[in-house]
């Protein structure tokens, strides 16, 4: 994640995390770690689950939309082997 203060990437650590009251969003306190070369600032991120489609990341076909039957067939094939 990119620090909003110094702009460095991949130097943040999660300090705390908890779900919000309605449990649909997860709140995380992050810190730009000085140990990793960051500036030490802290900020909050909110992460929400997205519903409505089945998005899969597999091989070179990242983010393609699949139907539920196709996903179930692939899972059954994987479990059999």
Domain for residue 64, yes or no?
no
For a pLDDT cut of 70, what percent of the chain falls above it?
Answer: 75
pLDDT at 32: 94
Please state the rounded mean pLDDT for residues 37-66. 72
Domain for residue 32, yes or no?
yes
pLDDT at 37: 92
* Gap between the Cα atoms of 37 and 7, Å rounded: 12
Domain for residue 66, yes or no?
no
Question: Taking the CA atoms of the chain, what radius of gyration do you get in angstroms?
Answer: 18
What is the residue range of 37's domain? 12-48
| Number of folded domains that form the chain | 1
Domain for residue 55, yes or no?
no
Which residue(s) pair with 27 in the sheet? 18, 46
pTM given for the model = 0.56
Structure tokens at 65: 């939309």
pLDDT at 39: 94
Neighbours of 1 (CB within 10 A): 15
52, pLDDT greater than 70: no
Structure tokens at 57: 């990341």
């Amino acid at each position: 994640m990119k620090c909003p203060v110094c702009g460095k990437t991949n130097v943040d650590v999660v300090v705390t995390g908890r779900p919000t009251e309605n449990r649909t969003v997860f709140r995380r306190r992050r810190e730009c770690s000085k140990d990793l070369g960051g500036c030490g600032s802290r900020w909050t991120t909110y992460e929400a689950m997205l519903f409505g489609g089945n998005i899969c990341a597999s091989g070179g076909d990242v983010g393609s939309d699949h139907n539920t039957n196709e996903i179930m067939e692939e899972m059954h094939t994987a479990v059999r082997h």
